[in-house]
Amino acid sequence: MVQLHKEFTDSEVKELIERYLKREIKIHYVLEILGIKRSRFFLLLRQYKECPNRFSIQYSRKAKTRKISESTEHNIIKELQIEKNLIEDPEIPLRHYNYSYVKDLLETKYNQKVSLSTIIDRAKKNDFYLKKRPKIDPHDREVVTNPFHHFLKT
């Protein structure tokens, strides 16, 4: 979907709509220029007809995106700390964090929904992230390429 406010100015879209209304340009040309479908065009046309002077394709978000509350942030850190204490305890043979468990715990215990990637991101930023252990190469095997019957002839 094309984001008109990034591609065109208000005046450019107004001009195209006005030219369409004066029948100077056909709809399929307007749709091709704007890169939108008919339904989106007719929504813009209706907005323009309602108030041509205030018509605008620009908008601003009502709330910040990708922002979690301080209490959620605090709870993530708190639960990651508990997990880290369990992992570092020599009596418990754990080797990694269970981030999905932390995610589920936040939903059930605190009624806070957070994505798994956010939890992992906070774990990395606050030094609760354990890197995966390097894989140990399996021992090399020697492959015999001579046919078995070669050994029988000697």
The two structure tokens encoding residue 148: 């078995």
Alpha helices (H) in 89-115, listed in sequence order: 99-109
pLDDT at position 136: 73
Model pLDDT, residue 127: 84
- Give CA separation, 125 vs 90, 129, 130, in Å: 24, 8, 12
Q: What is residue 103's predicted lDDT score, i.e. its pLDDT?
A: 93
Q: Which of 69, 81, 82, 83 is nearest to 111 (CA)?
A: 69
Which pLDDT belongs to residue 98? 77
How far separated are the first and last CA of the chain, in Å rounded? 75
Give the pLDDT confidence score for residue 1 in this predicted structure.
57
Tens of pLDDT, residues 105-140 = 999 999 999 999 999 999 889 888 776 667 777 766
Pure H helices in 4-126: 4-7, 10-21, 27-34, 38-50, 70-88, 99-109, 116-125
Looking at residue 145, what is its pLDDT?
66
The verdict on pTM exceeding 0.75 is no
Residue stretches of the chain with pLDDT short of 70: 1-2, 64, 93-96, 131-133, 139-154
Residue 92 pLDDT: 74
Task: List the domain boundaries for the chain.
Answer: 4-50, 70-125
**Tell me, what's the pLDDT at 48?**
93
Model pLDDT, residue 36: 92
Residue 2 is predicted with a pLDDT of 66
Q: Region of 80 please: left (phi>0), alpha (psi -120 to 50) or beta.
A: alpha
